[in-house]
Homo-oligomer: A and B are copies of this chain.
């Protein structure tokens, strides 16, 4: 089947570009002496996680939620880090159920009461839970202040149900800074501060074999930090318009290094106006970042002057320069705004090679937000 014959809206992944992106990130990390710990929150797809592992140089896979980790474990993946705190009795119960059969499971923690609750629960399973101290790089989302880390680390190390493994520092707020040099300088400043915590932990006799962090946007900057052990990159395997709008280490758009492998096919449902048509992909199919709207591509090239706007939950508005005739039923290919929440709207992704559909992968963790 050709991609143009897919029912729309449809998510498509070019397998050759996907494989090249896996190889480029793997090789860049390996040259710096770092491992990958790819984040499954991006793709929600165990098949992709397995291919990331098979590409080599992986320390494990990251999950954002217990439900994501459960889905990865169900697919046979052994080494999983949950990158956000797990705090309610219900979630701690589910985490412990997973922990009991999965020695390679790790959990971040950023609060003493939560650490005590995890310790008490893990003691009942008979095996300490491996944990990382989550550091807050002044993003304020999760994590503890750098200044509080040494004391918190000592506290964790003393809890009988936990096994301190190291630290996590993820600068989510820096990933999309447009200029690479500014992104690099800001990220390295936080990651070097986190590296000092690693050295303090080690000097205090605390186990700190893991220092994990970074994303696709800051990966090149952070690979220069000696203490960093592995990188939690996500978007590099699929890519999107948000990352195409920032520069990479060579000053060119970051999607020159990691070209988009993920695209969406959409159709024209109405064409009664000049200069624009209505597409069948709206809020329920395509997460829109207004600052980095989807890009319309043809034969892999961005069509200049073509723009996608929000047109409701079911529809998008596609404007284009004169000269083109788009009829109802015409199909278009888009690079999506932001891959993670868009992928989360679909149950499957069509795998393409040279424009032919060669496989369908299940987005098995779709909807795993718990």
Pick the contact of A85: B270, B313, B331 (CB < 8 A): B270
- A136 and B276 alpha carbons, distance in the complex (Å): 15
Contact flag A9-B284 (CB < 8 Å), given A111-B271, A329-B88: no
Per-residue B-contact encoding for A74-94, CB less than 8 Å = 1, 0 else = 000000000011111111001
Pick the contact of A367: B117, B281, B331, B346 (CB < 8 A): B346
Interface residues of A in 250-301 (CB under 8 A from B): 267-273, 276, 278, 280-285, 287
- A105 and B288 alpha carbons, distance in the complex (Å): 32
- The winner among A172, A287, A329, A344 for most chain B CB atoms within 10 A is A329
Cβ of A141 under 8 Å from chain B: yes
Per-residue B-contact encoding for A4-32, CB less than 8 Å = 1, 0 else = 01111110000000000000000000000
A347 near B367 with CB under 8 A, answer yes
- The winner among A136, A271, A313 for most chain B CB atoms within 10 A is A313
Chain B hits for A276, CB < 8 A: 140
Contact flag A110-B367 (CB < 8 Å), given A278-B142, A284-B340: no
Cβ of A314 under 8 Å from chain B: yes
- A347 and B366 alpha carbons, distance in the complex (Å): 10
Contact flag A344-B172 (CB < 8 Å), given A9-B369, A269-B85, A314-B64: no
Chain B hits for A282, CB < 8 A: 369
A interface residues, how many (CB within 8 angstroms):
68
A345 near B369 with CB under 8 A, answer yes
Interface residues of A in 41-57 (CB under 8 A from B): 41
A88 near B287 with CB under 8 A, answer no
Cβ of A127 under 8 Å from chain B: no
- A270 and B113 alpha carbons, distance in the complex (Å): 11
Offer 13 A-B interface pairs, CB within 8 angstroms, sorted by A: A5-B90, A7-B91, A86-B269, A87-B267, A87-B328, A110-B270, A140-B317, A142-B269, A144-B272, A280-B370, A284-B369, A313-B340, A313-B344
